[in-house]
Amino acid sequence: MKLTANYKNLINRHTLCCLFICLYNFSSAQKAPNISCKSITTIPAFNGSNSFIENIGQYGTSMSGYENMGNIQFGYEGLDMPVLFTPKGLIHLQRKIEKISHAEEEKLEKQGLPEAEIERRRKITDRVISTEWIGANPTAEIIKENKTTDYHTYGMLTAKAFGYKKLTYSPYAL
C-alpha cells in the first residue's frame, strides 16, 4: 500500500502504533496492486468504541487545516485518540491536556475565580497525523457494513451516531 504522510509537531511511537494498528487490516488485505476496493475492519480497542462511528456532526464537517482531505465521514474512537476517515485518507488526532497544579488551582479559587475559568487555564496541545492515499479519488465512496446495535450520542446533537464493523473504500462515486 502506498501512503503519503504529513506530520505536524513531534509525534511519539505510541501515536504511530495506534495509527498503524488501525491500518493493519487495510494494508494486509491488499495482495494485488490494482484492487479496486479496499476494506478496513475494526480491531479490539483498549477503551472507547470498537466500531467505526458515522459522523453526524460530532467531528465537524472537515478538520481545520486539513480541508484538502475532504469531509469527515467516520471516526474510530479507540485508544482515546480518534482516527477520522475521509474519502482521501485518515486524520489521526492526539490531544494532551495539562491541568494547572493543585496549588495554582487553590490560589485561583481563593481569588474567587469561577470554576469554568479555572478549567480554561489548562494547557492543551494538539498533534495531528494525516495520511492521504496516493492517487486518492476525492469523490471515493466509503461503504459502511455490519451496523452495530449500539449507538453514540453527542451533547446537543439529537441524532444517533451508529457504529459499523467494516468500511470499504470504493474509488467509484455512485
Bridge-based pairing of strands 3-8 and 123-133 is antiparallel
Residue with cell 492517487: 135
Tell me, what's the pLDDT at 90?
A: 92
The tens digit of pLDDT for each residue in 132-145 reads 888 888 888 899 99
Length of the chain: 174
The helix (run of H) or strand (run of E) holding residue 21 is: helix 13-28
| pLDDT of 152 above 80 | yes
For residue 61, report the phi and psi dihedrals to the nearest 5 degrees: -75, -45
What value, to the nearest 5°, has the Cα angle with vertex 139 and ends 91 and 157? Answer: 55
Q: What is the pTM of this model?
A: 0.65
Bridge-based pairing of strands 83-86 and 161-170 is unpaired
Point out which residues pair with 29 in neighbouring strands: none
- How confident is the model over 78-84, as a mean pLDDT? 80
